[in-house]
Amino acid sequence: MDARPVLFFDSGIGGLSVVKEARVLLSGRPYVYVADDAAFPYGAWQEAALLERLVGLFATLIARYRPAMSVIACNTASTLAIARLREAFPGETFVGTVPAIKPAAERTRSGLVSVLATPGTVRRQYTRDLIAAHGARCHVRLVGSENLAPLAEQYMRAGFVDEDAVAAEIAPCFVERDGRRTDIVVLACTHYPFLVNRMRKTAPWPVDWIDTSEAIARRALALAAALPAPGGGGGRDIAHFTSGRPAEGYRRLLAGFGFAAEDEAADGP
C-alpha cells in the first residue's frame, strides 16, 4: 500500500484547474497543493533565477512530502524547468504542463491560432520548439499577458473581475487576415480556465478555447498505473503556501477544493 501523496505545484491558484479534473480521475491518494505565492507571478521572472528557485524548492518539497508524483500544474514553470527537475531528481515522477500547440494546429480550420500565456512561457525556447515541430502549417500568434494571471487570482479569491481588463488582455489574440479569422485560442496558463467564461463573453468573435487541465489529469492517471496501489494513509489534503500563512481569501478558496492550509491541518485532529 502506498500512502504517498500526489503533489500539485503552481505559482498560485492556477493548479487548481488541474486539481478539479484530477479529483474526478485520480482518487484514493492524498493531495498536497503547493502554491509558490511568495514568488507569484512567475511570468516576469528571469529564467536563470526562476530555474534555481524551482530546483531548490523541489529539493525541500520532495524531502518534506515524499510525493508519489509531482504534477507541475504551471506552464511557466514546466516549459522552463521540467527537464532540469527530471535530471536533478531522477527517482521522482513528474507530470508537466505545456502549451497545447499540437492539438490546436490539428484542429484549426482558418489556420490562425493564438497561444495566450505568461510573458515567460511566450519567451521560452520550449514553446518556440513546439511551434516549429507542430505549427508549421498554420500561423501561430504568441500573446504574452502580464495581467491575466493576477486577474484570475483576484477573481477566484474575491469573486469579481474587471471585464474590460480581461477584454484588453485577450484582444491581441484575435487576428483577421485575408478574410480568415483566428478560430482557436490555447489557454497556456493554468490560471486562465478560471476566466474562460469572461473571455468568451468579452471576445470579439467566438473561438475554441483549448484548456489542457483534463489532459494533464489523464497523464497523471496513466503514470499512476505504474505506482504501488494507493492506501493506508488516511491523511488530509493539505495546501502549502511558500509565503507562510495564506490570506483569508486563499484559505476559503482552498477549502472549497478540499484542502486545509498546512497550519490548520497541523492544528487539526
- Residues annotated catalytic, as ranges: 74, 189
* Interface with ligand DGL, residue 96, by CB under 6 A: no
Query: Are the CB atoms for 213 and 24 separated by under 8 Å?
Result: no
* Interface with ligand DGL, residue 213, by CB under 6 A: no
Please report, for residues 7, 94, 207, the alpha-carbon distance to residue 98 in angstroms, rounded to integers and kept in the order given.
Answer: 18, 13, 20
Closest CB to ligand DGL among residues 4, 31: 31
Please report, for residues 112, 173, 195, 263, the alpha-carbon distance to residue 184 in angstroms, rounded to integers and kept in the order given.
Answer: 7, 9, 16, 42
Pick the binder of ligand DGL from 26, 29, 32, 43 (CB under 6 A): 43
What is the distance between the alpha carbons of residues 153 and 155, in angstroms, rounded to a whole number? 5
Strands (E) across 173-226 are located at 176-177, 180-181, 184-187, 208-210
Pick the binder of ligand DGL from 30, 41, 67, 144 (CB under 6 A): 41
| Minimum distance, C-beta of residue 189 to ligand DGL, in the bound complex (Å) | 4
| Minimum distance, C-beta of residue 89 to ligand DGL, in the bound complex (Å) | 21
Residues 122-161 that bind ligand DGL (CB under 6 A): 149
| Minimum distance, C-beta of residue 195 to ligand DGL, in the bound complex (Å) | 12
Part in contact with ligand DGL (CB under 6 A); list of ranges 9-17, 165-173, 220-228, 246-254: 9-17
Closest CB to ligand DGL among residues 108, 118: 118
| Percentages of the chain per state (helix, strand, coil), in multiples of 5 | 50, 15, 35
What is the distance between the alpha carbons of residues 77 and 258, in angstroms, rounded to a whole number? 24
Query: Are the CB atoms for 254 and 153 separated by under 8 Å?
Result: no
What is the distance between the alpha carbons of residues 155 and 147, in angstroms, rounded to a whole number? 12
Part in contact with ligand DGL (CB under 6 A); list of ranges 34-42, 135-143, 212-220, 235-243: 34-42
Number of residues that make up the chain: 269
* Interface with ligand DGL, residue 74, by CB under 6 A: yes
Part in contact with ligand DGL (CB under 6 A); list of ranges 102-110, 183-191, 220-228, 245-253: 183-191
Q: Are strands 180-181 and 184-187 parallel, antiparallel or unpaired?
A: unpaired
Residue with nearest beta carbon to ligand DGL: 14
Part in contact with ligand DGL (CB under 6 A); list of ranges 38-46, 50-58, 88-96, 228-236: 38-46
Query: Total residues at the site for ligand DGL (CB under 6 A)?
Result: 17
| Minimum distance, C-beta of residue 251 to ligand DGL, in the bound complex (Å) | 19
Pick the binder of ligand DGL from 4, 6, 10, 35 (CB under 6 A): 10
Residues 6 or more apart whose Cβ sits within 8 Å of residue 149: 11, 12, 14, 40, 41, 43, 118, 189, 191, 192
DSSP SS3 for 261: strand
Residues 6 or more apart whose Cβ sits within 8 Å of residue 27: none
* Interface with ligand DGL, residue 17, by CB under 6 A: no
Residues that bind ligand DGL (CB under 6 A): 10-12, 14, 40-43, 74-76, 118, 121, 149, 189-191
